[in-house]
Structure formats: C-alpha cells, structure tokens
C-alpha cells in the first residue's frame, strides 16, 4: 500500500487541507476499484466501514489476492469535516455558500465527446482507454475557482477511470439502501444482496449531478452518442451506498458491511478466491422517481409511527405531528406501498420540513429527485 496526498487549493492563506488516497494492489492490472467515504463529511458509519476496509485490503495485498488496483479515500471531505457549529458537525453543505457537497459535480460529456471525435476505433478496449484519457484531459481543463471546486476536481480525477466506484454515505436515520443508475443495476445487484439492502433506488439522471452519476451518466451519454458507430464499453458500476443512519456506528456493523463489499469484489473477480453464495435480494429495485417524500404540514413534535426498513401500506400512518400548545395531532399517512428507508432524526419540525421517504413502484415525481 502507498498513500498519495492531493492538496486542496484556494484555501484561506496560512491553512492547508488535502485528500489522502491509499492505493492497494497493482496499478497495471487493467482493473481499478475506487471507494470513498463521507463525502458529506459527518457520515461516521461510512468512515468506520472504510477504516475496516483498509485493514482488509492490506491483508489481501499481502496475500496477493488483489486482481485490481484499489484506491481508498477514507475521508473524502476534509473541508466539511472541519465545519462545526456550537458543538455539532455541519458536513452536508459548505457553510460559506450553502452548496451541497454531493451536488453539482462536473458533467463533462460534451468536452469528452469533442476530444473523441476521430479518435475511436473498432476495438472496444482501445476505446475504453481513449475515453478515459479524454475524460482526464477534460477534467484537467476545467477551471477551479474555489476550495469546493478543488475538492470535487480531486475526487473526480481519482475516480473517472475506475471500473467500480463505491461512494459510501449514511443518512439521518435509515435502513441500508443504495442509489444506482438504471444501467448499473444488473452489475450492482449482487452488492445489494451482500449488503442486505432494503431499498434499491434507480435513476439514470436524478437531476442532482451527484458523484456517482457524474461517473455512470456521463458514460451512458457517451454510449448513446458513439455507440451506433463504434463499439463502446460498459461504464463503471457506480453506486452510492447508504450505511443506515448517523448513529449506527459499531465495530460489528462496520465489519459486516466491509465484509459484504469484499464478498462483492470477490464475486466479480477483482479479489481472488471463492465468494460466499449470493444471499436473497431483500427487496426489488424501484425507481427513485417512485419514492414518496413526506413533508411536515405544520410545526410541532414529530412522532414516528412506522419502523425503518419495513413495508408501509397505502393509508398507513407514518408520522404524527403534535402541536405543543394545544395537543392537536396531525397524522401524515402514506399514499404509497413501499419500504420506509429513511426518516428525520430531529424530533421537532417546522412546516415544510422533510420527514422521510418510502419506496414506490409507480413513477410519481420528476425533475430534481434527490433532496437538497
């Protein structure tokens, strides 16, 4: 293993921060696996999983079992991890601008396509390398004007040429769930099985320009553009893994999640050995546009009435909001049959605050499919 430090630019004078990437295996293997944790900075369960993965990759490297180069970034967002307000971490948004650290990643399809005109061949492997080279050039040409953009640039540069991209997160209170591009789902489904994911949310383009989609959707655009003329490879298996809620931090759970990721990489051949038999898929994949997102109709005390990870029926009460001065109860019921996969952790809400989400088979939303 060796570490590479990638400085973040455009910081305040007299300060320095960097992204540390740990490399395992052989860079000339022809395969690359990229994993990063806690892009929203205070996603502690994801960071703990990444530390357990470090130990496992070190052992696998010594055993000579890594068939791919593995790049692990345990702390993907040192900028956000340094943001604290009155004792509480504030890692989801850049405080100076309000920007979400996992939104607005550079979508460089047009710049890559321009560089590829006249450069593609009839060989799919050659085209894969030329796409990655053109992508790297397009990223290098992007202007970086602030620390937020510098962080995004560092992470994209590390991941754009990977075959597997796993972005490890967590939610407020949640069950294990995945966000996956439609085309990635067949290859990602074994990962959902090993992790015991209870909600698998599919979207080709969520409208958020999140990190995982900056990989998978750009490849999809390139295949649509060139695929009828040249043989174009499949894009990376790019997945956002939500390791439950922020308080779900334990060695036992982190080890189980890390083991599940190792089993998946063994299953697909990036780690030598025999993978465990595939567990059952706990719940089928559903469109992200089919999930129902609940909001508070008024201010009050939030009482949860449905269990995380369980099936919710149409008409079932999911939340109560109790008015403190009158005791009046406003009940929020589900209009969708599906799994309650995430919910709010703060037990007092204002009108319009998000409360939680339930999966659904029927498309009912469009536009921006992810929250802020």
pLDDT at 371: 74
Query: Does residue 197 share a domain with residue 85?
Result: yes
Query: Does residue 350 share a domain with residue 233?
Result: no
CA 141 – CA 129 distance, rounded (Å): 18
Burial of 280 (0-12, 13-18, 19+ CB in 10 A): exposed
Query: Does residue 326 share a domain with residue 202?
Result: no
pLDDT at 372: 65
Question: What global pTM score does this model have?
Answer: 0.96
Query: Does residue 182 share a domain with residue 144?
Result: yes
Query: Does residue 206 share a domain with residue 102?
Result: yes
pLDDT at 224: 95
CATH of the domain at 168: 3.40.630.10
Query: Does residue 330 share a domain with residue 202?
Result: no
User: Under DSSP, is residue 150 helix (H, G, I), strand (E, B) or coil?
Assistant: helix
Q: What are the φ and ψ backbone dihedral angles of 346, each rounded to 5 degrees?
A: -85, 135
Query: Does residue 325 share a domain with residue 220?
Result: no
CA 113 – CA 131 distance, rounded (Å): 8
CATH of the domain at 321: 2.40.50.100
pLDDT lower than 50: segments of the chain: none
Does residue 363 lie in a domain region? no
Q: Using one digit for the tens of pLDDT, what is the confidence trace for 252-272?
A: 999 999 999 999 999 999 999
Number of structural domains the chain divides into: 2
Query: Can you give the residue range of the structural domain that contains 200?
Result: 2-268
Query: Does residue 230 share a domain with residue 148?
Result: yes
Query: Does residue 300 share a domain with residue 254?
Result: no
Does residue 243 lie in a domain region? yes
């Amino acid at each position: 293993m060796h570490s590479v430090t990638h400085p973040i630019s455009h910081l305040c004078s007299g300060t320095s921060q960097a992204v540390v990437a740990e490399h395992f295996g052989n860079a000339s293997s022809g395969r690359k696996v990229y994993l990063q944790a806690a892009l929203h900075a205070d996603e502690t369960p994801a960071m703990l999983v990444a530390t357990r993965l470090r130990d496992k990759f070190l052992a696998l490297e010594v055993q000579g079992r890594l068939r791919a180069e593995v790049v692990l970034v345990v702390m993907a967002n040192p900028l956000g991890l340094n943001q604290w307000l009155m004792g509480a971490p504030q890692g989801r948004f850049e405080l100076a601008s309000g920007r979400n650290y996992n939104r607005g990643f550079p979508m460089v399809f047009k710049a890559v396509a321009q560089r590829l005109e006249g450069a593609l061949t009839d060989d799919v492997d050659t085209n894969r390398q030329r796409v990655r080279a053109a992508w790297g050039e397009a990223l290098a040409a992007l202007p970086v004007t602030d620390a937020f953009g510098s962080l995004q640039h560092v992470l994209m540069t590390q991941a754009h040429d990977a075959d597997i991209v796993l972005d490890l997160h967590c939610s407020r209170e949640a069950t294990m769930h995945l966000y996956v591009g439609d085309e990635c789902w067949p290859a990602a489904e074994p990962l959902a099985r090993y992790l015991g994911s209870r909600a698998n949310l599919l979207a080709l383009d969520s409208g958020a320009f999140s990190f995982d989609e900056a990989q998978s959707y750009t490849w999809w655009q390139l295949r649509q553009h060139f695929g009828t003329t040249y043989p174009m490879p499949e894009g990376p298996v790019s997945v956002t893994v939500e390791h439950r809620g922020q308080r779900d931090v334990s060695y036992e759970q982190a080890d189980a999640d890390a083991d599940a990721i190792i089993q998946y990489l063994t299953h697909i051949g990036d780690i030598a050995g025999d993978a465990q038999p595939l567990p059952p898929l706990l719940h089928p994949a559903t469109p992200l546009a089919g999930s129902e997102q609940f909001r508070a109709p008024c201010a009050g005390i939030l009482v949860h009435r449905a269990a995380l990870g369980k099936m919710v029926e149409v008409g079932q009460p999911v939340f109560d909001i109790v008015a403190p001065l009158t005791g009046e109860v406003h009940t929020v019921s589900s209009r969708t049959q599906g799994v309650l996969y995430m919910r709010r952790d703060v037990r007092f809400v204002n009108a319009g605050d998000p409360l939680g989400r339930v999966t659904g088979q029927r498309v009912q939303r469009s536009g921006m499919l992810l929250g802020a």
